[in-house]
Chains A and B, each alone.
Chain A
Amino acid sequence: DTEVTQTPKHLVMGMTNKKSLKCEQHMGHRAMYWYKQKAKKPPELMFVYSYEKLSINESVPSRFSPECPNSSLLNLHLHALQPEDSALYLCASSQDLSGVSSPLHFGNGTRLTVT
């Protein structure tokens, strides 16, 4: 069982819909991440939050909007997505951003399909 919980597990949405992905961790971690993973590819970093502040945005299109309401929660708001945005979206957390000594713990992901 993972200690990072993501909901929903699966999501199908149209290109005009607005939806949100949710992520929760109760390990006291202060850094949280969103990764995107296409089929047969490694995860690619999208956003990093540290102490509830956006630390890294990897030039992600504005149709993806992250939010960190508190240290345990991370949301990803989706609007006007394209079919090529269909992917597995992974949330992760780590104790902090101290680099190699702070491993990332991943959730099981949300499988997103954009129709």
Chain B
Amino acid sequence: SQELEQSPQSLIVQEGKNLTINCTSSKTLYGLYWYKQKYGEGLIFLMMLQKGGEEKSHEKITAKLDEKKQQSSLHITASQPSHAGIYLCGADIGAGGTSYGKLTFGQGTILTVHP
């Protein structure tokens, strides 16, 4: 099974709707990254969450980290076609967060936003 599970696997929404993507770890989270990827392109860094309960926002995207639940959520408010893409969570889930660069990714959530 995946060490990082994302849900849903895909999401289709109408422009203007809110949405949430979840990322759940099978191991203790020592921090978590969210990335966005357009098909065939590189990953764009969105946010990094380091502490339990931490919440960060950038423009219309908010991410939270719940360390106790070993889970993070990414929430997009009033979605736009420009938000479309693949959202990936990544985490260093080695012992004590010291895997020294070995970032593990979830399988991704494909977001489609219809105008």
Contacts and interface: CB of A to CB of B under 8 A. Distances in A.
Interface of A: 2, 4, 6, 31, 33, 40-43, 45, 48, 50, 55-56, 58, 88, 90, 92, 94, 97, 99-101, 103-109, 111
B46 to A, nearest CB: 10
A111 B50 CA distance: 32
Contact of B31 (A41, A50, A88, A100): A100
A88 B40 contact: yes
B48 interface: yes
Contacts, number: 77
Contacts of B22: none
A43 B106 CA distance: 9
A101 B50 CA distance: 7
Interface band, chain B: 20 to 34
B59 interface: no
Contacts of B32: 100
A55 B31 contact: no
Contacts of B99: 99
- Chain A CB within 10 Å, residue with most, of B43, B92, B97, B105: B43
Given A50-B100, A56-B101, A99 B40 contact: no
B33 A33 contact: no
B102 A48 contact: yes
Contacts of A104: 33, 43, 45, 90, 103
B42 A45 contact: no
A55 B33 contact: no
A111 B88 CA distance: 19
A4 B42 contact: yes
